[in-house]
């Protein structure tokens, strides 16, 4: 494996909580090329031949293993689109950690568009963690446009945790999911935007099989002059249950547009949406100030807890 | 020592000012267990908020340990050792009971220490320590957590606004025990409890009756308690309801 520099290591720590080489299967991508890879008896990783990206194949029945596929960009002006496909065998129970960190000190935009597709076998269970992070004082933008597609077979469970808290100037994230009978999708999104950042997050979940369910929860904070658009759509095409929740805090001159939509095409589809946007409740600030915190400290505690 | 001098507080739109606290003067020495009681709407919570700095008095002074704190912020007063358990505790999405206890203690309280405080208020620590302080907690649980955050703090003056509200009968004796303990090892602490409960009144050193925004009576328990028991001050709500229902 090629040595990584300090900036790349820091990015890696931010997006994957990794200090060095992860255990288990991994593929590390830095500045547009693969710099390290490990496969295991059950998890195979191959580079695509037709375009940039990798195929990850996990054998049926694989349990308690993990795959890390972090990406770091530290060169200004780099733009890439990467296609990663995950084939998860039946009855697997695995953890997949992806994430992208961009450090842009230059004046040119740096952009990483990751297209991830998950083919989740019958009764398989995956937990997918994705963190996005940006840093660097350059005038060049840090842009991330992830597309996540999830195809769930009968009885499978996918838990996704998507976090973007800092430093990404512009993001357009799209998550599409199709669920067969008895499949279950749980999404927890955490988003915070600063400065003049813009974030668009689109979810489209198609509940196709009877007994399928989806729970998509987004908590977000928009500060300064930033803008977020949260577009969440659940379609119930069978006897299913779907729940989406947008819970947002706005600060300064931040703006949030929440566009929930539910489409029920079956009489036994039970779909619920909840949305709330507002500033931090005054009584929460007051409570923490009566415990001795300053207003700014109280605010930080509330936001931290909210995005945890 | 806490001294209130000609304290007043008016709320409402300009022109239609209503005085909620009127020319209120009080002296509360250290190391006392004081219970404030009085009819609903009498101004008890407002007085507690004025002392904690949540509301700003429109006239008069609040002197704490010889220093005029009338102009000080909530944070400054808290840091000087004033603690306040709300009548209606606040919920926080995402903050856990442990987080709140740590904020209250102003240190990285160990899980063990945090558990002590929870056990004191009769909550099984392992069930609650990692719970979020959100809508999933019951009213009574929330009240007890609120009390635990005051126990976790290092304070000189503790204000409890109707701590017994929403606490079940079984836990009520436990609550009395907490206050008795606090009173016994108060180490110079002054405790002010706002309450309508006879059992809390009966452990007070001193009782203050607040009505119409000012002090109606103040004195040692043995003097005041017999005067108010059975009158409609301490059991106001129930009697009124009975009367009203009887009339229907
Ligand atoms: N900000 C405010 N604006 C207008 N009126 C207020 C405000 N705060 C309190 N009041 C009024 O002042 C009066 C005193 O309220 P307070 O909450 O202090 O009463 P209390 O003695 O604590 O009553 P309870 O026993 O019901 O808790 C009430 O009539 C209340 O409606
Ligand atoms: Mg009150």
Whether A172 and A145 have beta carbons less than 8 Å apart is answered as yes
Identity of the residue in B78, B89, B96 whose CB atom sits nearest the CB atom of A291: B78
- Say whether residue A202 is in contact with chain B using an 8 A CB cutoff: no
In the predicted structure, residue B239 carries a pLDDT above the cut 50: no
Task: Name the pLDDT band for B17 (thresholds 50, 70, 90).
Answer: low
- A131 domain residue, yes or no: yes
Enter the ipTM.
0.89
The tokens describing B54, both together, are: 């949540």
- A189 domain residue, yes or no: no
- B146 domain residue, yes or no: no
| DSSP letter for each residue of B204-246 | -SEEEEEETTEEEEEEEHHHHHHHHTTSTTTTHHHHHHHHHHH
The predicted pLDDT at position B248 comes to 52
- A10 domain residue, yes or no: yes
- B237 domain residue, yes or no: yes
Q: Name the domain count of chain B.
A: 1
- B168 domain residue, yes or no: yes
- Say whether residue A296 is in contact with chain B using an 8 A CB cutoff: no
- A40 domain residue, yes or no: yes
The predicted pLDDT at position B186 comes to 57
- A149 domain residue, yes or no: yes
In the predicted structure, residue B237 carries a pLDDT above the cut 50: no
- Residue B12 Cβ contacting ligand 1 at under 6 Å: yes
- Residue B46 Cβ contacting ligand 1 at under 6 Å: yes
- A117 domain residue, yes or no: yes
In the predicted structure, residue B95 carries a pLDDT above the cut 50: yes
- Cα(B48) to centroid of ligand 2, in Å? 9
Q: Name the domain count of chain A.
A: 1
The predicted pLDDT at position A73 comes to 87
- Cα(B41) to centroid of ligand 1, in Å? 5
Instruction: List chain A residues with CB under 8 Å of B90.
Output: 281, 283-284, 286-287
Residue B185 is part of a domain; what is its CATH number? 3.40.50.300
Identity of the residue in A284, A290, A295 whose CB atom sits nearest the CB atom of B84: A290
Contacts of B175 (CB under 8 A, 6+ apart): B121, B147, B163, B164, B167
**Angle (nearest 5°) at CA B66 between B62 and B69:** 35
Round to whole Å and give the CA distance between B28 and B50.
Answer: 15
- Interaxial angle between packed helices A295-307 and A282-289, expressed in degrees from 0 to 180 and rounded to the nearest 10: 120
**A46 lies in which domain range?**
1-168
- B220 domain residue, yes or no: yes
3-state class of A301 per DSSP? helix
Say what percent of chain B tops pLDDT 90: 54
Round to whole Å and give the CA distance between B241 and B3.
Answer: 36
User: Along the 308 residues of chain A, how does pLDDT read in single tens digits?
Assistant: 556 778 788 888 877 776 666 778 999 888 888 888 999 999 999 999 999 999 999 999 999 999 999 888 888 888 889 999 999 999 999 999 998 888 888 888 888 899 999 999 999 999 999 988 888 888 888 898 999 999 999 999 999 999 998 888 899 999 999 999 999 999 999 999 999 999 999 999 999 999 999 999 999 999 999 999 999 999 999 999 999 999 999 999 999 999 999 999 999 999 999 999 999 999 999 999 999 999 999 999 999 999 98
- A59 domain residue, yes or no: yes
Q: Which of A287, A295, A307 is the best mutation test for B, with the most CBs of B within 10 A? A: A287
Instruction: Give bridge partners of residue A148 from the DSSP assignment.
Output: A116, A175
In the predicted structure, residue B236 carries a pLDDT above the cut 80: no
Nearest CA to ligand 1 atom 30: B41
**B206 lies in which domain range?**
2-90+151-245
- B138 domain residue, yes or no: no
- A188 domain residue, yes or no: no
CA separation, residue B217 to residues A108, A157, B5, B124, B207 (Å): 75, 66, 16, 40, 8
Round to whole Å and give the CA distance between B212 and B44.
Answer: 10
- Say whether residue B135 is in contact with chain A using an 8 A CB cutoff: no
Q: pLDDT tens-digit profile of B34-76?
A: 999 999 999 999 999 999 999 999 999 999 999 999 999 999 9
Identity of the residue in B86, B94, B153 whose CB atom sits nearest the CB atom of A287: B86
Give the gap in angstroms from C-alpha B223 to the nearest C-alpha of chain A.
Answer: 34
In the predicted structure, residue B219 carries a pLDDT above the cut 90: yes
């Amino acid at each position: 494996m090629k040595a990584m520099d300090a900036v790349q290591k820091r990015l890696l720590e931010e997006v994957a909580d990794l200090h060095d080489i992860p255990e288990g299967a991994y593929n590390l991508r830095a500045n547009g090329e693969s710099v390290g890879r490990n496969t295991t008896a059950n998890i195979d990783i191959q580079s695509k031949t037709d375009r940039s990206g990798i195929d990850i194949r996990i054998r049926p029945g694989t349990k308690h293993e993990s795959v890390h596929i972090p990406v770091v960009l530290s060169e200004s002006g780099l733009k890439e689109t990467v296609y990663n496909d995950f084939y998860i065998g039946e009855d697997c129970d695995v953890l997949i950690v992806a994430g992208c960190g961009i450090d842009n000190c230059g004046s040119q935009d740096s952009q990483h568009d990751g297209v991830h597709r998950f083919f989740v076998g019958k009764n398989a269970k995956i937990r997918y963690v994705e963190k996005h992070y940006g840093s660097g004082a350059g005038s060049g933008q840090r842009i991330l446009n992830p597309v996540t597609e999830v195809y769930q077979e009968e009885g499978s469970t996918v838990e996704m945790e998507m976090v973007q808290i800092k430093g990404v100037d512009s993001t357009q994230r799209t998550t599409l999911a199709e669920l067969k009978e008895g499949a279950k999708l749980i999404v927890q999104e955490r988003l915070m935007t600063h400065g003049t950042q813009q974030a668009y997050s689109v979810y489209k979940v198609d509940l196709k099989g009877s007994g399928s369910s989806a729970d998509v929860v987004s908590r977000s904070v928009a500060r300064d002059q930033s803008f977020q658009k949260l577009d969440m759509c659940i379609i119930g095409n069978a006897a299913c249950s779907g729940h989406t929740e947008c819970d947002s805090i706005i600060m300064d001159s931040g703006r949030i547009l929440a566009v929930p939509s539910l489409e029920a095409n079956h009489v036994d589809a039970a779909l619920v949406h909840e949305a709330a946007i507002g500033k931090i409740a005054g009584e929460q600030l007051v409570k923490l100030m009566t415990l001795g915190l300053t207003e700014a400290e109280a605010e930080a505690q509330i936001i931290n807890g909210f995005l945890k | 020592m806490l001294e209130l001098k000609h304290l007043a507080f008016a709320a409402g739109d300009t022109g239609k000012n209503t005085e909620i606290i009127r020319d209120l003067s009080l002296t509360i020495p250290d190391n006392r267990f004081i219970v404030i009681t009085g009819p609903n709407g009498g101004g008890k919570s407002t007085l507690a908020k004025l002392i904690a700095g949540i509301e700003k008095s429109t006239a008069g002074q609040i002197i704490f340990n010889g220093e005029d704190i009338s102009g000080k912020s909530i944070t400054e007063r808290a840091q000087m050792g004033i603690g306040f358990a709300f009548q209606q505790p606040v919920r926080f999405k995402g903050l856990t009971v442990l987080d709140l206890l740590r904020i209250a203690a102003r240190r990285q309280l160990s899980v063990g220490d945090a558990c002590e405080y929870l056990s004191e208020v009769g909550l099984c620590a392992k069930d609650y320590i990692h719970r979020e302080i959100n809508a999933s907690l019951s009213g009574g649980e929330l009240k007890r957590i609120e009390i635990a955050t005051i126990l976790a703090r290092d304070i000189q003056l503790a204000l409890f606004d109707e701590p017994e509200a929403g606490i079940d009968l079984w836990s009520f004796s436990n609550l009395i025990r907490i206050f008795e303990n606090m009173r016994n090892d108060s180490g110079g602490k002054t405790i002010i409890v706002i309450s309508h409960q006879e059992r809390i009144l009966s452990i007070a050193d001193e009782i203050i009756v607040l009505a119409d925004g000012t002090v109606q009576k103040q004195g040692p328990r043995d003097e005041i308690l017999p005067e108010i028991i059975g009158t409609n001050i301490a059991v106001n709500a129930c009697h009124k309801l009975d009367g009203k229902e009887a009339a229907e």
